[in-house]
Amino acid sequence: MKTILIALAASFLATFSISSANESSLRIDYSRLKDDLKSDLMREIPDVSTSRKSDYFEALEKEEAAKEGVKAAEKVLGEIKTAQALIGHAKNHWIKKADQGIANAKEALKNAKTGAEREKAKADLAKWEENREAGVEALKERTAKWEAVKDDLPKAQGALQAAREALAQASQNVVETTKELGLDAFLSSDDLDAKLARYIVLKEATPAALAEYAAESRAHEAQVEAFLNNDELLVQLMVADGPRKARRAEHPDYPRMLEIYNSIQNASDKASDGALQRLALAVALEHAAPHKLRAAKADTDAPEHVDPLKRYLHFEKAYLDGELDPHFGNLRVWDMRMVVDGEEPEEILAWGREMLRNYRPDHITTSDHRWRYVGLVRSDIRYGSQDNKYDRDDLQFFQNILMNGGICGRRAFIGRFILRAFGNPTTARPQSGHAALVRWTPDGWVPVLGGGWGAGWTKTPYDRDKDFLATTQARALGDEYLQVKRAHWVGDLLDEPRVYGLLNNRKAPEFWNGLALNTQRALIADAQALDAVGEELGEANVSDVEYAIDTAEVTDADREITVNDKGLITIPAAATSEPKSSKGKVIFIPSVLGGLQLHYKRTGGATDFEYTINAPEAGSYALIGKVVTPSWKQNLVLSVNGEANVAEIPLPHTVGMWDYTEPVHINLKRGKNVLRFSHKTEGYSKGFSIKEFQLAPVPEHARVR
Domain boundary among 151, 182, 213: 182
pLDDT value, residue 14? 42
Helices and strands in the chain, H and E counts? 22, 15
Domain boundary among 164, 182, 200: 182
How far is it, in rounded angstroms, from Cα 242 to Cα 255? 12
434 domain residue, yes or no: no
Of residues 699 and 81, more confidence is placed in: 81
3-class SS shares of the chain: helix, strand, coil, % to 5: 50, 15, 35
pLDDT value, residue 703? 47
User: pLDDT per residue over 380-415, tens digit each?
Assistant: 999 999 999 999 999 999 999 999 999 989 999 999
pLDDT value, residue 330? 98
pLDDT higher than threshold 70 for residue 500? yes
Residues 133 and 253 in one domain: no
How far is it, in rounded angstroms, from Cα 419 to Cα 331? 14
Lowest-pLDDT range of 4-18, 538-552, 618-632, 638-652: 4-18
pLDDT higher than threshold 80 for residue 59? yes
How far is it, in rounded angstroms, from Cα 375 to Cα 364? 9
pLDDT value, residue 506? 74
Cis peptide before 650 (omega within 30 of 0): no
Residues 594 and 671 in one domain: yes
Q: What are phi and psi of 78, to 5 degrees?
A: -60, -40
553 domain residue, yes or no: no
Residues 161 and 275 in one domain: no
pLDDT higher than threshold 60 for residue 586? yes
pLDDT higher than threshold 60 for residue 10? no
pLDDT value, residue 19? 59
Give the number of domains in the chain.
Answer: 3
How far is it, in rounded angstroms, from Cα 296 to Cα 293? 10
pLDDT higher than threshold 90 for residue 702? no
pLDDT value, residue 537? 87
Lowest-pLDDT range of 46-55, 100-109, 266-275, 501-510: 501-510
How far is it, in rounded angstroms, from Cα 650 to Cα 637? 9
550 domain residue, yes or no: no
Residues 156 and 260 in one domain: no
The residues near 563 (Cβ < 8 Å, ≥ 6 apart) are 569, 570, 614, 616
Residues 580 and 671 in one domain: yes
* Banded model confidence at residue 2, pLDDT cuts 50, 70, 90: low
User: pLDDT per residue over 86-141, tens digit each?
Assistant: 999 998 999 999 999 999 999 999 999 999 999 999 999 999 999 999 999 999 99
Residues 155 and 265 in one domain: no
Residues 55 and 161 in one domain: yes
pLDDT higher than threshold 60 for residue 4? no
pLDDT value, residue 527? 97
* Banded model confidence at residue 539, pLDDT cuts 50, 70, 90: confident
pLDDT higher than threshold 60 for residue 17? no
pLDDT value, residue 700? 60
CA dihedral 548, 553, 554, 555 (to 10 degrees): -170
pLDDT higher than threshold 90 for residue 427? yes
Query: Closest Cα to residue 169, out of 72, 75, 71, 66?
Result: 66
Q: Are 517 and 548 in contact (CB under 8 A)?
A: no
pLDDT value, residue 299? 97
User: pLDDT per residue over 284-339, tens digit each?
Assistant: 999 999 999 999 999 999 999 999 999 999 999 999 999 999 999 999 999 999 99
Return the SS3 of 474: helix
Domain boundary among 182, 202, 224: 182
Residue range(s) defining the domain that contains residue 108: 50-182
pLDDT value, residue 704? 43
Query: Helix 254-267 to helix 207-214 angle, to the nearest 10 degrees?
Result: 40
- The rounded percent of the chain whose pLDDT value lies above 90 is 90
pLDDT value, residue 3? 55
pLDDT value, residue 605? 87
* Banded model confidence at residue 11, pLDDT cuts 50, 70, 90: very low
pLDDT value, residue 543? 83
Return the SS3 of 164: helix
pLDDT higher than threshold 90 for residue 193? yes
Can you say whether the dihedral through the CA atoms of 219, 220, 224, 230 is positive or negative? positive
542 domain residue, yes or no: no
- The rounded percent of the chain whose pLDDT value lies above 70 is 96
How far is it, in rounded angstroms, from Cα 542 to Cα 556? 34
Residues 617 and 695 in one domain: yes
Residues 697 and 566 in one domain: yes
463 domain residue, yes or no: no
**pTM (predicted TM-score):** 0.89
How far is it, in rounded angstroms, from Cα 398 to Cα 414? 6
* Banded model confidence at residue 248, pLDDT cuts 50, 70, 90: confident
CATH number of residue 667's parent domain: 2.60.120.260
pLDDT higher than threshold 80 for residue 276? yes
95 domain residue, yes or no: yes
Residues 600 and 692 in one domain: yes
* Banded model confidence at residue 5, pLDDT cuts 50, 70, 90: very low
71 domain residue, yes or no: yes
24 domain residue, yes or no: no
